[in-house]
Amino acid sequence: MTLHLLKLLLLTILFTGCGYQFQGSGTVLPDDVRKIYIPTVENLTAEARITNYMTEAIRERFERFGVITVVEKSDIADATLNIEIRSLDREARSVTSGTDTVLQYETVALLWGDLRRTDGRILWRNPAMRVTKSFGATGQTVVTSSSDFAQSGIDSQTLASLSDIEVSRGQEQEALLDLSEEVAKFIYDDSVAPDF
């Protein structure tokens, strides 16, 4: 047996022996809860875009690992996941000293959620979720070497030609999408994923 295969065998024994599982391979939910209905996120804020962003991100996160099946109707589900966006605020995070120009904003979402069996019994509840995401408000504050910028599809030349308002709007939309992904990850990890 080669040294490489021996190491692989030892790692396999070690991980299975200590109960380690890769993400998506298990759940803390009871065995009879495998189909979840996820209705449209309830949005109590004035930011209409976040409703679809967050609903889709949560559904995709639950579908990704294949442990839970997301169904389209509540009458065929074992449980329903309800999420409510209570507030979504944009706060100045950094400001220039001379002109009070905002360089960076932080978007803060406060949410409530629960996962209930069809008979109403609660499987999971978190009444005080808080998730944040920062974004640049001017072209000078966008870090062009960041992974967020690389995924945006804009090159440095195009960025330089945009006004600060255009940059801020684009960055805000990306922040809302990223915030939705963070919320989805948090909810999945908190409600379904096993603790290691």
* pTM assigned to the model: 0.69
Please tell me what DSSP assigns to residue 77.
Answer: -
Confidence at residue 172, expressed as pLDDT on a 0 to 100 scale:
73
Query: From CA 105, how far away is CA 116, in angstroms rounded?
Result: 35
Mean pLDDT of the chain: 77
Give the tokens for residue 59. 């559904």
Nearest to 62 by CA among 190, 154, 163: 190
Q: Is the dihedral of CA 169, 172, 178, 184 positive or negative?
A: negative
Confidence at residue 17, expressed as pLDDT on a 0 to 100 scale:
43
Confidence at residue 124, expressed as pLDDT on a 0 to 100 scale:
96
Return the half-sphere exposure (C-beta side, CA atoms, 13 A cut-off) of residue 189: 10
Does residue 121 contact residue 195 with C-beta atoms inside 8 Å?
Answer: no
Query: From CA 159, how far away is CA 144, in angstroms rounded?
Result: 9
Confidence at residue 79, expressed as pLDDT on a 0 to 100 scale:
97
Confidence at residue 100, expressed as pLDDT on a 0 to 100 scale:
64
- Domains recognised in the chain with CATH numbers: 24-190 (3.30.160.150)
Query: From CA 90, how far away is CA 35, in angstroms rounded?
Result: 35
Does residue 94 contact residue 105 with C-beta atoms inside 8 Å?
Answer: no
Nearest to 131 by CA among 173, 64, 187, 61: 187
Confidence at residue 65, expressed as pLDDT on a 0 to 100 scale:
81
Mean pLDDT per 10-residue segment, the chain (196 residues): 52 45 64 96 95 97 90 96 95 66 80 96 96 68 48 54 52 83 94 77
